[in-house]
Amino acid sequence: MTAPDEHSAAGFEAPEISHRTIQLGVEESLRLDCGVELRDFPMAFETYGTLNESKSNAILVCHALSGDQYVAGDHPMIGRPGWWEVVVGPGKILDTDKYFVICSNILGGCMGTVGPKETNPETGEPWGLSFPVITIADMVHAQAMLLDALDIPDLFCVIGGSMGGMQVLEWAALYPDRVFSAVPIACSALHSAQNIAFHETGRQAITADPDWRSGDYHRQGVVPHRGLAIARMVAHVTYMSEASLHSKFGRKLQDRDSVTYGFDADFQVESYLRHQGSTFVDRFDANSYLYITRAMDYFDLAERYDGVLAQAFQETNARFCVISFTTDWLYPTAESRHIVKALNAAAASVSFAEIETDNGHDAFLLDEPEFWRVLRGFLDGADEQRGLLG
């Protein structure tokens, strides 16, 4: 098992691969919430399946904080299946024999879409901290630009978990005419103080790493891998539940019969977290982590609507399926209920199911038969209605 500090501080670099990208904002720039105009920027994306003639079968999958555009198939960088391989593919719930599934790397990401790691064409240097602070709404506007570029007028469904769910809510609010059905999973309409607190802990870990170099580590040829690994370790705990940590690890020791009276990874759970931290560093950019967590912290959908969340959904005709998980303490069911209340107040069509599971927040990525049954049923129903409406 690789501990985070086994990487050599200098000279570590993620394997370079070329992502499928498209240049957006060429004719018309993207005006970000912070006021900056972003123009002529790359967006990386993947598609699965075939767009039908009437262009009515497009599904946009929105990825979470540490996700990327590689939803299904083999991930080119990590040599493992894509992050939602269990749900997306031929004959699966998001059936790529039937639907055209699109997933783009979010704005600020580090898998080919413009972000702090990418080169600023005006300076020829990596953006670093000169990259503008982005929001969830900015991410969604950029995705809408991608759809324009692909000449896709509207989406049969927009779906995502965690930060992906926040994008789904923004989609319904910002582009009500372009969304037929919306599935926000394990998310919230606003980022809670607790969530901001955890993010701040992670950001502090990154910026406290001497190799962060005030965000300029790319140019200086180093990587703040210790800080990023710790950020990931903290975050990873929030994605699990007490029950799942207990059943996976309990107090079991790692490759030893007794504790060592030292600070080595005596416990399996420690070893597991160190592994999670170190593998994350191989595929994720520390500055991206700062920007994306910030975007999540700033998320409060009701804010634009004088604090009345229902107003955000006033224009939408989308069918919603809100899903939460019993042991998710990062985005607890109460926060999904808050969304449902607002949708009801806006007289929107909404389904809401809470799925019983021990898997915590991460449940949306895992084998959860009840969750899948609900999701499949909802999509089949929406499909039937879409068919009826022609």
Task: Looking at residues 37 to 76 of the shown chain, list those that interact with other proteins (rule: CB under 8 A).
Answer: none
Rule CB under 8 A: say whether 77 interacts with other proteins: no
Q: Is 162 a catalytic residue?
A: yes
Residue count of the chain, please give it. Answer: 390
Residue 101 and residue 71 in contact, taking contact as beta carbons nearer than 8 Å: yes
Query: Which of these is catalytic: 328, 336, 351, 362?
Result: 328
Binding mask 280-319 for other proteins (x = CB under 8 A): ---------------------------------------x
Options 207, 276, 377, 386; binder of other proteins; rule CB under 8 A: 377
Least separation in angstroms between residue 1's CB and other proteins is 39
Please identify which residue in 240, 350, 363, 365 interacts with other proteins, judged by CB under 8 A: 350
Exposure class string for 176-209: b at 16+ Cβ within 10 A, else e? bebbbbbbbbbbbbbbeeebeebbeebbebbbeb
Annotated catalytic residue 188: no
Catalytic residue among 19, 199, 361, 362: 361
Catalytic residue, chosen from 162, 181, 241, 336, is 162
Q: What would the DSSP string read from start to end of 40-97?
A: SEEEEEEEES---TTS--EEEEEP-TT--S--SSB-TTTSSB-TTTTTEETTSSEETT
Per the annotation, the verdict on 211 as an active-site residue is: no
Q: Which stretch binds other proteins (CB under 8 A): 32-40, 64-72, 105-113, 347-355?
A: 347-355
The alpha carbon of residue 78 and the mean position of all alpha carbons in its chain are separated, in whole angstroms, by 17
175 near other proteins, rule: CB under 8 A? no
Q: CB neighbours of 322 closer than 8 A, spacing ≥ 6? A: 183, 184, 185, 336, 339, 340, 343, 350, 351, 352, 353
Binding site for other proteins (CB under 8 A): 319, 321-322, 340-341, 344-347, 349-356, 370, 373-374, 376-378, 380-382, 384
Catalytic residues, which ones? 162, 328, 361
